[in-house]
A and B are shown apart, each in its own frame.
Chain A
Amino acid sequence: MAHRTPPGSSASHASCLDLWREKNDQLVQQTKVAQDSGLSPRRQQLAQDALEGLRGLLHSLQGLPAAVSVLPLELTVICNFITLRASLAQGFTEDLAQDIQQGLERVLETQEQLKARLEHGLRGLWDSVLRVSSLLPELLPALHHLAGLQAALWLSTDRLGDLTLLLQNLNVSQSRASEDLLLLLKTWKPPAEESDAPLTLQDAQDLRGVLLTAFAYRQGLQELITGNLPRALSSLHEAASGLCPRPVLVQVYTALGTCLRKMGSPQRALLYLVAALKGESTWGPPLLEASRLYRQLENTAAEIECLELLVEALSVAHIPEAPQLLIEVELLLPRPDPASPLHCGTQSQAKYLLASRCLQTGRAENAAEHYLDLLALLLDGSEPKFSPPPCPPGPCVPEVFLEAAAALIQAGRAQDALTVCEELLSRMSSLLPKRPRLWGHARRGTKELPHCSPWVSATYLLQGQAWVQLGAQKEAISEFSRCLELLFQATPKDKEQGPASSCEQGCTSDVALQQLRAAALISRGLEWVASGQDTKALQDFLLSVQVCPGNQDASFHLLQTLRRLDRRDEATALWRGLEAQTGLPQENAAWSLPLYLETCLGWIHPPDRETLLEEFRTSLLETCDL
């Protein structure tokens, strides 16, 4: 092995350099051995040892004054150290910036130009080092390598401005004016390392490829989220055309699918999604995206099928491969964000999505089954397997119970629904308000209006509906009455108190509370009607119209009852109001109500509104004719 030894340097110096070089090469070899030894503590140990070895080597190199002859080796050792450290920690930390800074300062030390040091931070340091490096061509390969690592660090910490300047400085021969990072990365040509250079874990060329893919993907995803679809598409294409590991490719293809779906090319989107599914590493995101695509195409059967597959895919425990001991694209990607379009969530979240879609699309039996599965998944404590609730961004656990009960009633399984409701009530019992203790506080006894969570009221409402289905009018009416009692005690002020989780606030909006009251009143009214007690029914319907003026169903039920009771004048006035409103869309359509409430409102919907209005009109005309 012939090394270039600077003239005049002593023999011991050269042999020291040789020793250090050999040490570096040996540590790099050791890391490569560790890389190949699969996932084991031994591998971890080997890599850790190599890291410590590099650290020690760096210490001895930096213990001496900086010399141009030693610097290429020193910079290479720094690069190897940073590469190994970042890949072991699976991320870049601020310390690495300090390591880079130290390397740069050592370069400047040889030129006695340390003045620029701390004036502009790392950026200024790079400026002066690159200016100096034109005088030291032997340093260029190592410096470009270090610059690549700096670029990776800045990319992962989103300091794109600094990154652009650095690349512009590196590309000084080419188009300097360009601001386009992608273009800059493409035109950056790291000088090839000489054949006798010390070994590196990852060379600058390789690093450049990784940077290119990571940046293109990051940019594409960013554009996708901000809605700049054509640019997102081109960036993602760029990312897909680069060399990237399979899991990243799946993500890129899925993002392309999302982008094309939003651009209105479902067929092309589908092609990408199929390609993504062939990736065989992670099926979650493409399947979820496919379900969204089919939903957009209103192909419910396919959508449900996708969701079922998604649930299945997520139930498979995924064993990760050992990460490479290199800077990989994954290291440079933004942290997975639940808000990202590529986030597919957990199994229970998928299961919930499936169940609720089934309920929404009228597949009540399937919905009921899925909801029961989900509850079992969440609550079965005997199994060691943990499964998170679908919250957030989905509903919280009490709502899952309520939706399950609603689905069961919808599917005609009223008895099961009652069981689910009872389970919910028993689990919430410790959180329910308690009457104050009686001892010594008689004056407070008058204020026995405890706050109650709207969920408890909703549970009573669903229990009542289950009894209705079972034909037990008496029980149904008593449940509706309990529900109403609680609902009218809950004042807006009370809502702010009590054990409130974040999503509890959302589903107890004033509108939902109004609709819940109306639903309970109408339900009880209908039971009164069924038992022939029209006056009581009339009272409830009247109240429901007052409580929730926007709910037309209440008005229709009131109209019918008035007609039955033969209270013509009131009926006519109400009819006129209804006639005027029919042209307008339902007011509450804009508000999204909890799914269980929507389902429940569906049950008390008057079946033949148009015919009722028509009949009323003709009967009114008849009376006029008379």
Chain B
Amino acid sequence: MAGLAPRVEYLAGFCCPLGGLAAGKPRVLCHGAEVFLSTGSELVYVYDREGRLLIAVYKFPGQVWHLELLALRRALYVLCARSGIYCLSLDQASRSVSRDDKDDRVDQDSEDGQVDELPAPVIPVHPDTCVLPGATLHAFTVLDDVLITLAQGPTQWKVQLFERPCPGEDPRPGGQIGEVELSTCTPPAGSLGEPTAPRFLPVLCCASPPGSRAPHGHPWGSGGVTLEGPLFGLLFGSDASLLESPVILCGLPDGQLCCVVLKTLVTSRSAPGDPKSLVKILHHLEEPVVFVGALRTEPLSEDVEDADCDCLVALGHHGRTLAIKAMWDEAGHLVPELREYSLPGPVLCAARGRGGHVYHSTPSDLCVVDLAQEGSPWDLTQHDGAPGGLPSLLCPASLSVCSVVTLSVSSRAPEGGAELLALSAKGRLMTCSLDPCSETPHPARVTSANAGQKIKELLSGIGTVSERVSSLKKAVDQRDKALTCLNEAMNVSCALLSSREGPRPISCTISTSWSRLQLQDMLTATCLLENSSGFSLDRGWALCIQVLRSSQALDLDSAVSAITYTIPVDQLGPGGQREVTLPLGPGEDGALDLPVTVSCALFYSLREVVGGALALTDPFKDPSSNECTPDVLPEQEGVYLPLSEHTVDMLQGLRFPGLAAPHTQALGPVSPARDPVHTFLGTCCGPVSQPAGPASLRAKYLPPSVATIKVSAELLRAALGDRHAGVSLCCATLQWLLAENAAADVVRAQALSSVQGVAPDGTDVHLIIREVAVTDLCPSGPIQAMEIQVESSSLANMCRAHHAIVGRLQRLVMEQAARGSSPPDLRLQYLHQIQANHETLLREVQTLRDRLCTEDEASSCATAQRLLQVYRQLRSPSLLLL
């Protein structure tokens, strides 16, 4: 096949559905200048190559699945899905041109422009003209006087043999000669559902014994072959050869290749044949069989024009190819030589050519392989002394035509060459002529060019194999890698989940600080992920940080709108650290709603690591992690491991510009979100243009909101432990409150007991700690207590700070209670009274609030005043935390 030079010529275009023609059902046949073509639709086209025009179009009652031409009898047989077999006379086809009854015209693919000067009439074929009705027929072939069909039964394929009906004949009910059932087939699904069109149709090939050829040409239709005696006898047994009976070869969609000796198929009417004795399974390709045929591989002697085939070939959809030849072993016994090859798939269609050539089409290319022996006279060693053996490797040679859905080898081949008639998926009919001179299949002797070509072919073969090997290797590597990753992930998950108490092997600590980002001060949270475990976090792990704002945190309904940041952890080995800084606010509007809850979790994306392979498996979810934070779980499937949760409250968000600490000084009091132009203007205009917002007005004219909390000194002392050593309890308490603030060090250094801070929105917040004595509470005398007072001109900020302090104290009390310290004796009556006072206050709040809703503006003002007053009273309880 050295240097095949295909010459492709487009003949005509036929309409095809969107997405192109599917392989399997289109057919193209040629007889002289006439081309018969079906595209899988209801139409059968008759096209004249000489005149380059469409002669006729026949419209059948259903999809056309197969065409077979019996040239000798001038008949075209057409299998119409769910209807049966129709027969057209070839003479009728040419005559029909002159017919007048053109109801409609063919909707031709006009872009091609080669055919449609003369649109052909569409001749409808009436269902009544069906010569062999059969709704379940899937394939057929014609042999001189018999018609062989393959029908799909409820559970089995059924081969039936009929007397060949002639064109225009009524179906004869007694025409069936015999039938036998083949292996099981998958039954069509659904009870009431319509049977769906199968993706693959079975293929039939009729093999005749040698010498049975009629004197006037081939007795078979377009799909028949004549096999050499030894191969025939070997494949089908001595009975078939003695009877000189044709044999039908069936390639089924499940991969089976079986044969039935036709003369044995004749059965009495009442009984279908016994499959065990009639059907012989030759091979199982394990993929849908798309082609069965036979070839002449050994060189022909000079005088013989067309010798019998000596090699049976079957092709599977995925490219698996079977070749069988008859051989004589060293003892002289007849033995089969059977080889399987793998050609590139998926195979759309195939055809046999002369001289051991098989053409097969894939979506990307039309290839030819040569099964003829590769010049054995000069290469004895290669063939193991068995002359005429099959090649050990097939090298497909490309013809550079893609997406051919059906193919037929034209009989009008030039001397020594070949001409293919092909229909592409786009509906183009084309001829592909192969250059005869470059196609000398059996070089008489080795020339350097031959040797070079041979080496080239072998190299290409090696290339294909190595390509395949490398792709397989890659797949295996990927899988290995995925498994390793999964194993690591498993280890990490186990380590994290098993160490619920005590220090966790992988931890995330969160701290906050103010920094200046893009001309704006920002409270930022810094998450430090530390891996102190023995495993490394690889591809697939991500750190999920969820930020829950206070308004949302307090309001349960809107919790869903929390922001989640997902940061991939790329390679964090044992002992490694990764730091992530997130802005918490204030946002565009300058507001920062504290407290903000920041929770960190590790997420392992199964989808990313395992990819499509395990995409359908259940997500590996830990139920306990589910319970903790059900809403954090992203939609992707993966492993979610919560690490830590941190609440950033007002005490952490406060800044202290008044404190002389080097790093805080830099930030300055310019603070909150202020446009620099605004600031500039503000300074220019001086005191005249004070911010006129209600907040600032209130800050100016209203007394600051105050809240106080009293805690017993003893409790604080016990809780703070060593921390207050050396400083007064007041200082220690303030230090404790501001421990998580960036200014904690300054507070400690200066031993402050009161501090003036700035809230994120710029209003002042004053924290004052003083020592008081509570007298009435305890019968044994006054109790030393610390009073924590919060003052702010902004009620909201005061509340936030108060909330933060109360939260801390609550935690402290809980811890102390757990330690089991006993409170001193209390005067219960006093406690009761305080409680009663508070209750009356609360009740008043309730009534005031109710009134606020109903009253008009004037009185509501007074009510609001009163309400604020009550609130203030409530905020300064005489209660003491013990």
Contacts and interface: CB of A to CB of B under 8 A. Distances in A.
B493 to A, nearest CB: 38
Contact of A450 (B145, B228, B270, B332): B332
Given A388-B267, A451-B333, A499-B237, A428 B191 contact: no
Contact of A431 (B144, B238, B335): B238
Contact of B244 (A48, A391, A427, A501): A427
Given A386-B177, A431-B229, A444 B330 contact: yes
A430 B210 CA distance: 10
A499 B178 CA distance: 26
Given A94-B187, A450-B331, A497-B333, A431 B233 contact: yes
Interface in A482-539: 494, 497-502, 504
Contact of A41 (B171, B234, B271): B171
Given A431-B234, A451-B331, A499-B234, 9 more contacts: A320-B269, A322-B173, A335-B272, A338-B274, A389-B239, A398-B238, A431-B238, A436-B331, A502-B277
B154 interface: yes
Contacts of A381: 212, 244
A338 B229 contact: no
Nearest to B377: A439
Contacts of A131: none
Nearest to A384: B145
Given A387-B266, A447-B330, A499-B233, A396 B192 contact: no
Contact of B266 (A386, A424, A434, A453): A386
Closest 4 pairs (CB-CB, A-B): A430-B229, A336-B271, A98-B191, A93-B154
Contacts of A347: 268
B268 A319 contact: no
Contacts of B177: 386
10 contacts: A48-B135, A314-B268, A318-B269, A338-B271, A343-B271, A388-B267, A391-B277, A431-B241, A450-B332, A494-B333
Contacts of B155: 93-94
Contacts of A337: 274
A58 B191 CA distance: 12
Contacts of A89: 154
Interface in A444-464: 444, 447-451, 453
Contact of A391 (B241, B264, B265, B331): B264
Interface string B227-253: 011101110011101111000000000
Interface stretch (B126-134, B421-429, B577-585, B699-707): B126-134
Interface of A: 39, 41-42, 44-45, 48, 55, 58-59, 89, 91, 93-96, 98-99, 102, 282, 284, 314, 317-320, 322, 335-338, 343-347, 378-379, 381, 384, 386-389, 391-392, 396-398, 401, 424, 427-431, 433-437, 439-441, 444, 447-451, 453, 494, 497-502, 504
B233 A59 contact: no
Contacts of A424: 242
Contacts of A335: 272
A596 B317 CA distance: 49
A453 B332 CA distance: 13
B492 interface: no
B35 interface: no
A93 B153 CA distance: 9
Contact of B242 (A95, A398, A444, A448): A398
Main secondary structure, interface of A, reads loop
Nearest to A443: B330
A294 B146 CA distance: 39
Given A41-B130, A437-B387, A388 B265 contact: yes
A42 B128 contact: yes
A427 B209 CA distance: 11
Nearest to A54: B192
B239 A320 contact: no
B385 A451 contact: no
Contacts, number: 175
A379 B243 contact: yes
B261 to A, nearest CB: 9
B541 to A, nearest CB: 44
Interface string B202-216: 000000001010000
Given A320-B173, A387-B266, A433 B333 contact: yes
A556 B585 CA distance: 124
Nearest to A440: B380
Contact of A434 (B210, B228, B332): B332
Interface string B379-400: 0100001010000000000000
A433 B174 CA distance: 43
B331 A449 contact: yes
Interface string B550-581: 00000000000000000000000000000000
Given A41-B127, A389-B263, A427 B241 contact: yes
A379 B177 CA distance: 17
Give the residue among A48, A314, A427 with the most B Cβ atoms within 10 A: A427
B190 interface: yes
Give the residue among A381, A433, A499 with the most B Cβ atoms within 10 A: A499
B331 A430 contact: no
B263 A387 contact: yes
A95 B238 contact: no
Contact of B133 (A41, A338, A444): A41
Given A384-B145, A397-B243, A436 B238 contact: no
Interface string B162-201: 0100000001011001100000000100111000000000
A404 to B, nearest CB: 12
A130 to B, nearest CB: 22
B174 A317 contact: yes
B266 A388 contact: yes
A428 B242 contact: yes
Contacts of A48: 135
Contacts of A501: 237-239
B620 interface: no
Nearest to B235: A499
B154 A99 contact: no
B57 to A, nearest CB: 24
B546 to A, nearest CB: 45
A501 B241 CA distance: 11
B119 to A, nearest CB: 32
Contact of B335 (A282, A453, A497): A497
Nearest to B173: A39
Interface in B109-134: 127-128, 130, 133
B334 interface: yes
B341 interface: no
Contact of B334 (A42, A343, A346, A433): A433
A430 B232 contact: yes
Contacts of B238: 396-398, 428, 431, 453, 499, 501, 504
Given A41-B127, A99-B191, A317-B174, A498 B333 contact: yes
Give the residue among B177, B178, B243, B244 with the most A Cβ atoms within 10 A: B243
B262 interface: yes
A529 to B, nearest CB: 35
B10 interface: no
Contacts of A338: 271, 274, 277
B149 to A, nearest CB: 15
Contacts of B328: 433-434, 436-437
Nearest to B269: A318
Interface string B321-341: 000000010111111000000
B230 A431 contact: yes
B783 interface: no
A448 B332 CA distance: 8
A409 to B, nearest CB: 20
A401 B274 CA distance: 24
Give the residue among B128, B232, B264 with the most A Cβ atoms within 10 A: B264
A508 to B, nearest CB: 12
A441 B384 CA distance: 11
Given A317-B174, A344-B268, A389-B243, A431 B212 contact: no
